Chain A
Amino acid sequence: MPQNNKILEVKNLKTYFYTDDGIVKAVDGVSFDLKELETLGIVGETGSGKSVTALSILRLIPQPPGKIVDGEILFKGQNILDMNIKELQDFRGNRISMIFQDPMTSLNPVFTIGNQLMEAILAHQTITKKQAREKSFQLLEMVGIPDIKRRFNSYPHEFSGGMRQRVMIAMAIANNPDILIADEPTTALDVTIQAQILELMHELKEKTKSSIIIITHDLGVVAKYANRVMVMYAGKPVEFSEVDKIFYKPCHPYTIGLMRSITRLDQERKNVLKPIEGSPPSLIDLPIGCIFRVRCEFAVKQCSLSYPELLEVSPGHYSACFRANELFAGFKNLDFLKTKK
């Protein structure tokens, strides 16, 4: 079960990209915290700033054009943004490690799996190559790679996608990190493999006693594995809460829209999926006011005047909407919305 001490705190993070077309505010004022042994889900559509948030935590934003312009990222009280390059190298992959979206491209094609795995170990542990090799075998076994001795000397192209993601996970847990960030770890995989990988991550989390930030656009994944969820839209957090509350009582029109656009087994056949009208805005020259208002069916005049701050609608449940309290009070669950036009 998640503890109460915060292991990671992100405060007002702003990551901008300076492009020829203008400043892309990919992440614009994101704040959240992560508790020990907790799994936090970050949800949002493509371009909502989920991955940039994750990359910012490890300061992996390509610079230029990207830059973290403001904010604090506190790991056990230490600001990651203040670290020098040496401290950062010691930190990355050691205290916080990362699993990426596409295992097809995140492993270097010209080095063996063993080489890349040992490299991750030797970057942070002062042990002999032989010991690192032993450790690699253990890791590969933990993530369920068969025929380890032979596989150790295989190249990434000799592995399937699921196997590669297992290797990525082995690399990520090689140094017993406190936090594992998984950036859409299953998006590029087959559905059957997706479940295996998520189960594996869940298992290893229990074993290694680490916290997980899982970035996804799959609400099913969030529902199953996350303790708390942050929903992002256009670089800002719009709703943040424990997972049950978000699913049973979404208090932001965007989250409500997301819930309505997923297929459910228990849904009646005559119900038609209701997509969110319109498309996400360009992150250059964002308008004043709430960014979602142009797609929002609850929009009022105030929405175009200023951006709504996160409002605590119930303990630990935040929503960035002027009408959050109304939405919270207005309906008990999603069925109410289904009957609406």
Chain B
Amino acid sequence: MVYFIIRRILQIIPVIIGVTLLLFILLYIIPEDPAQLILQKGATPEALANLRAKMGIDQPIYVQYWRYIKGLFSGNLGTSYRYQRSVNSILAEHYPYSIKLAFAAIIIEIIIGIFAGIISAIKKYSIWDVLVTISTTILVCVPVYWLGMILQVTFGLKLGWLPMSGYGDGSIRYYILPAVTLASVSTAFVARMMRSTMLEALSNDYITTAYAKGLSQFKVIGKHAMKNALIPVVTLIGLDLGSLMGGAILTETVFNWPGVGRTIYLAILQRDAPVVVGGTVILVGIFIIMNLIVDIIYAWLDPRIRFEKVEPNI
């Protein structure tokens, strides 16, 4: 297990190199001069050249890239063109907001998604099942930003129950709309997957065995079917957690949420390359770590994929 975890952590390195390389090339292609961006219009050519030399962007791309990678592995994500602050501090400032929102969304996703899925599987073809199927289909189809705006208009503007946007004083009221919006699509996916894996699990022979032992329906479903049905759902939720942790660009932008997603969005608009690259690197890193955690949970749930040695049959 330890070997497995170490191996997986080492796998992060090539992924990070690949991602940064790609982003570097993309940003290099953009015909925008960072020096011009920083000094605004009217700067003299000498001043621009000076700044370029100072920033090192007059060097060939591989030199720049090498320097960046060296910085990256010593924990330095570079300096923002726009704010003249270290990218580390910018991201550190915004990350907590994203993480809080991600957790709020994940909680909604787990509770509502799993619950709806189970109900829909147990009461197959009932009115509840139909309701879950229809609402999840709609949720999957609706674009997140549109749903966000509709919620804003309905609950924020018309009904006035909840604040329309922003982080405010950080009370739970501010979380509800963005978290629901952020969780919408994944909740629908979780519910649908839970339904199908639950139905699949319930059709297994071991369910009949469990009933034949004299166990109650609650125990058969809650223990025997549940643990099997959860395995794929955990993967889905884990992957979601990974992507949500990286900041939700659309939701954070619609709700003016001060998270890292909105920061990256603004950085793209402002051509602030170091922030874009740094933010993405962190996003990828978290995604991979989340994947690793999912795999570990997975191994706990399903003993058949506990890595390393499998005992021989007798």
Contacts and interface: CB of A to CB of B under 8 A. Distances in A.
A50 to B, nearest CB: 15
Interface string A163-190: 1000010010000000000000000000
B215 A89 contact: yes
A201 interface: no
B208 A92 contact: no
Contacts of B208: 55, 60, 100, 106
Contacts, number: 86
Contacts of A97: 212-213
Contact of A105 (B205, B212, B213, B314): B205
Contact of A160 (B210, B310, B313): B313
B137 interface: no
Interface stretch (B112-120, B183-191, B258-266, B297-305): B297-305
B311 interface: yes
Interface residues of A, number: 36
B310 A158 contact: yes
A196 to B, nearest CB: 13
B interface SS class: helix
A111 interface: yes
A123 B227 contact: no
Nearest to A61: B208
B301 A93 contact: no
A171 B227 CA distance: 21
A124 B214 contact: yes
Nearest to A158: B311
Interface string B222-247: 01100110010000000000000000
B187 to A, nearest CB: 25
Contacts of B313: 158-160, 163
B314 A109 contact: no
Interface in A74-98: 85, 89-94, 97-98
20 contacts: A58-B212, A60-B208, A89-B214, A89-B216, A92-B212, A92-B214, A97-B213, A98-B212, A106-B208, A106-B209, A108-B206, A108-B224, A109-B206, A109-B228, A110-B303, A123-B214, A154-B311, A155-B303, A157-B310, A159-B313
Interface of B: 204-206, 208-217, 223-224, 227-228, 231, 301-304, 310-311, 313-314
